[in-house]
Amino acid sequence: MASLMSRCCSGAAIMMDVPDARLLHELEAENNKLKKLLAEAHLDIHAPNTAFGIKR
């Protein structure tokens, strides 16, 4: 089975198998989508308050 070299969040090099690397890539893509959805939801909630001068 082939292995790939990758870098973890701390910058350290790690070795992982190809299926693990694919799963990591898919999870990172899903995480980015969820972060975008959360940011958009946050804007949907707070943008009207800002537009109408409502303070919390």
User: In this predicted model, what pLDDT tens digit does every residue of 12-46 receive, in sequence order?
Assistant: 777 888 889 899 999 999 999 999 999 999 998 88
Contacts of 15 (CB under 8 A, 6+ apart): 3, 4, 5, 6
Residue 1 pLDDT > 60? no
Residue 54: inside a domain: yes
CB 14 within 8 A of CB 29: no
Residue 12: inside a domain: no
- What domain count does the chain have? 1
Range of the domain at 39: 24-56
Is the whole-model pTM more than 0.85? no
Q: Give the 3-state DSSP-derived string for the chain, with helices as H, strands as E and coil as C.
A: CCEEEEECCCCCEEEEEHHHHHHHHHHHHHHHHHHHHHHHHHHHHHHHHHHCCCCC
Residue 34: inside a domain: yes
Residue 41: inside a domain: yes
